[in-house]
Amino acid sequence: MSDKYTPKQILKYIRLAIHEAEKARGMCSPNPFVGAVIVKDGSVIATGHTQAYGKDHAEVVALKKAGSLAQGADMFVTLQPCSHWGKTPPCTDAIIKAGIAGLWFGIPDPNPQVNAEGLAPGTISGIQGMLDAGITVNWGYMEDEIKRQLEYHLCRIQLQRPFVILKSALSLDGKYAAMDGSSRWISGEKSRKAVHHLRETVDVVMAGFATVMADDPLFTVRLPQPKRQPLRAVLDTELSIDPNSALIQSIAEAPIIIFHKKRLDAMQRQKAAELKELGVELLPISSQQGRLVLDEVLQELHQRGFYSVLIESAGGLAASFIAENLVDKFIFFLAPKLLGGGMAALKALQLNNIKDALDLEITDCQYSGKDIMITAYPRY
């Protein structure tokens, strides 16, 4: 352990790197969004965050900003620097070449391309090379915060599937719609704006056919200057979607993929041809008991480099993902309304005994205008 910096100073710079990383959230998939800070003589001389996929990583961005001042300076990074060739050269090579004196990073990268054999000096590619070059290397700072920040990346590497977030807007008595099916708007304006910001940070927005039919949504990011538009995915077993729906007619705004069963009848094949002509991508998926196999859906997205999925549902699709332990994070918007009736969220989940309840760990609870926004993680 180096004594060049006090623990308080190290945490200060790692925290700054965490803040810097947030600038790249949702902008560099499938790469993790990372932050880097370069310090010399007690002052921050450069910061950097991961650029779009195929472009510079955070460490290289910071090194380019620092220029010749990087010689003899120290670097603080949220995630272990990569040491392999991919779309870009190894960051460890750039760090060595720049003359960095010390490296502090938050957590090791579980990606086997980066960290195949653990962090013991002499066994991990890249770390030993920096040690041999005379660079002081330390790690293990603000690990819980960084693991939470990089939850998409860790899920993609460790579970080999995208990280799944379930977002639901509900009345205070747990209803997602009134008895007539109307649901616009349960949540308030501030909550709806928060959802647009959330969409902007994920790779895929997903819904079931029932939601598309009931709400005729767009699922686009509608902010003054959106940084990106996510892929819009619909699970529609029978390919029942209306080509004239608002979603399909907005194909020019953001790509759409529809997952459907493998065997289509003549009318469904005709509709498939029409949808393809409009620019919609169709992907046949295995089905069981009339439902698409969700693991297969997620694997298709994983193989395409998508590492975060936002499900906008409170009904059957949400229940199916929960039943298969495929939801990694919950975001609830609870509006100060009572709707009564039978349109209960997750009604299809069919948990008969209190012992079967899914326990959640609430990590954040705050007002969103007049609504309450709750963030929670499942305890499967």
Q: Which residues are catalytic?
A: 59
Q: How far apart are CA 146 and CA 14, in angstroms?
A: 10
Side chain identity, residue 119: L
CB 155 within 8 A of CB 307: yes
Task: From residue 367, give the alpha-carbon distance in Å to each of 18, 145, 370.
Answer: 24, 22, 7
